[in-house]
Amino acid sequence: MKSKHLSIITRKEFRGLFNERTILLAVLLQLFIALFSSFLMVGLTSMYDPSSLSKYSRFRYNVAYAGNDSAVYGYLRDSPDFRVYRMDLSTGVAALEQRKLSAVIYVPDTAPDSQDPIKITMYTHQNDLQSAIVDVKLKDIFLKYEKNLREIRASRITEQPVPLQIPKAPGGGDF
């Protein structure tokens, strides 16, 4: 066969493929799905686990601190993730509604060694990706504060935890 005959046959076959709309539509649909699958994956991952995005965020979020002095204020001030502004609770919530702040944290005047529980209130936007990232970053600060409170209040613990004896599970089977 000559190359001339081969090119004629090839052109005829491609014309036939382009006239077949279902094949063309299937190829375009697969191309569309392949192009946007990475965007879908990142979006779904961030909705399921916002902490997956928080490590990529280098932005400093504006946070209002209302209430009395506590270790939380020091943790927020020392954090590279936040700019902390002291303000009244009502002023902070108004600025949050205007989207000038990412969160407002209110700490009551309960002393760390008090018998009463310390109830910290946090205000953020609802159903917002930025607030999900801020929540994850603030969780680390609140966990530090909780550890600090546990150390301060350790003398009150009179009960010892019961050790659990969980039997080791057998290994899974190979396929």
Task: Spell out the domains of the chain, with CATH numbers in brackets.
Answer: 3-48 (no CATH), 58-154 (3.40.1710.10)
- How many angstroms separate the CA atoms of 76 and 102, rounded? 13
Per-residue pLDDT of the chain (175 residues; tens, 9 = 90+): 677 888 888 888 878 777 777 877 888 888 888 777 766 676 666 666 665 555 556 778 999 999 888 899 999 999 988 999 999 999 999 999 999 999 999 999 888 888 888 899 999 988 777 888 888 889 989 999 999 998 888 888 777 778 888 888 776 666 5
What is the structure's pLDDT at 103? 94
**Amino acid making up residue 138:** L
3-state secondary structure of 41: helix
